[in-house]
Structure 1
């Protein structure tokens, strides 16, 4: 079991469920989030995601807890600005840039700041929440242009980082992972037509992701994993 866990983007949904899961197991849990602390059950750092210096300071404080497992859970599928596109006719450059910022640039900033820690920490595990719809090979339905593009870019980001870290730390395991369809605000508008049993609670998804993390090995570093730990195509 992980002795110390850092959850970035842990203020709600899957991230918050992961924090609850590991705390219940007795792990030291640190959370970085834009959301205010919902109680002081764990170490909580509020990041306004505005100033690079603030984020770096918060992260360095969190790393003092020496996490052996790190989750990055930031991501946006839809917001008040726009829903996922059903056709290229709905494509908007500003929406794409917004999704790339949330789904790629924010995780990239954290990964940049985590680089030295990842390179020097034996057996470190890093799991970045991605999405199966970011797989180019698996895409048979089309649509959701901005979200698919941003998640495909995120998968490349994680792959790139895994290669660079492996040159300095062969024991590191860095992956992107599809958590499965979870009952959160992100999936809420798209739940009506899901097959029975596909929708998971946040607690159930956290349990599955924790199981993937527990079994994660350096040989899988750079892969896009499914919620069950199997390897998905890029």
Structure 2
């Protein structure tokens, strides 16, 4: 078993230390498990109340995407053994009060839109603010955030879901900006968005009824695909959004 773990840890492109913000969600938990199974020596697993996998390589921590101080504290706690990969696996489609994605411009509400942007755009931006400073200048690192194909402007053919689409499009722009900025000083860095597909989680549950057969993916399968994609990316891919098959999503 130890030999197998050493072989996985030595796999090209795979990290020895990683952090997942959103480790209690379906994809986030599966990402933590995939990183641990792949030989990651330290997996910082963050959730709103600090409930995340524990024991073994896991180091649970608490954070709140709407409170920058908690994000800063989490990053500061990692600085002595900084992660080589940081993955933001948090996000929202349907709000806690049941408000779902708008089907018409007539349904847009300022408060709901602000909450969606706070969780899908501003929160990940603040994680980047405090975690990118931990990244090594001369070695490969990965900063990734879960995005969505519906955040693509050029690929939008049906409209709707205004706040969600706009929040993911804004996130993609921020990732592009951060990739450009980090590329000036960190030549081996990778900053990307990830489209996991339709995953069987609470986020997609209200919209699973009419999905074509085979389109819904289990969290473990989705996480495994995303980790393989991240392991294969290089600096030339920084600033883009990739789907679970490793194909670039149009901007």
User: C-alpha distance in 1, partners of 2:125/2:136?
Assistant: 16
Shift of 1:49: 4.4
Deviations 1:144-198 (A, max 9, x none): 0010010000000100000000000110011011111000000000011111111
Runs of 4+ in 1 over 4 A off after TM superposition: none
8 Å CA contact 1:81–1:95 kept in 2: the answer is no
8 Å CA contact 2:65–2:118 kept in 1: the answer is no
| 1:70 pairs with 2:91 | no
| 1:87 pairs with 2:104 | yes
After TM superposition, the score normalised by the length of structure 1 is 0.95
Q: 2:16 aligns to what?
A: 3
Deviations 1:16-50 (A, max 9, x none): 11001111223121112104324522101011446
User: C-alpha distance in 2, partners of 1:22/1:150?
Assistant: 28
8 Å CA contact 1:118–1:165 kept in 2: the answer is no
1:38-187 correspondence runs (5 A)? 38-41=52-55, 42-49=58-65, 51-79=67-95, 80-118=97-135, 120=137, 122-187=139-204
Q: CA RMSD in A?
A: 1.5
8 Å CA contact 2:82–2:134 kept in 1: the answer is no
Q: 2:10 aligns to what?
A: none
8 Å CA contact 1:30–1:65 kept in 2: the answer is no
Q: 1:31 aligns to what?
A: 45
**Structure 2 unaligned runs (5+)?**
1-13
User: C-alpha distance in 2, partners of 1:55/1:226?
Assistant: 27
Deviations 1:80-113 (A, max 9, x none): 2511111111111111111111101101111111
After TM superposition, the score normalised by the length of structure 2 is 0.88
User: C-alpha distance in 2, partners of 1:168/1:16?
Assistant: 32
Stretch moving more, 59-68 or 94-103: 59-68
Stretch moving more, 64-73 or 48-57: 48-57
Match of 1:127, SS state, is strand
8 Å CA contact 1:70–1:125 kept in 2: the answer is yes
Cα distance change, pair 101–49 in 1 and its aligned pair in 2 (3 A): closer
Shift of 1:11: 1.5
Cα distance change, pair 5–39 in 1 and its aligned pair in 2 (3 A): closer
Match of 1:18, SS state, is helix
Total equivalences in the alignment: 234
| 1:19 pairs with 2:32 | yes
Match of 1:45, SS state, is strand
Cα distance change, pair 75–38 in 1 and its aligned pair in 2 (3 A): closer
User: C-alpha distance in 1, partners of 2:74/2:224?
Assistant: 27
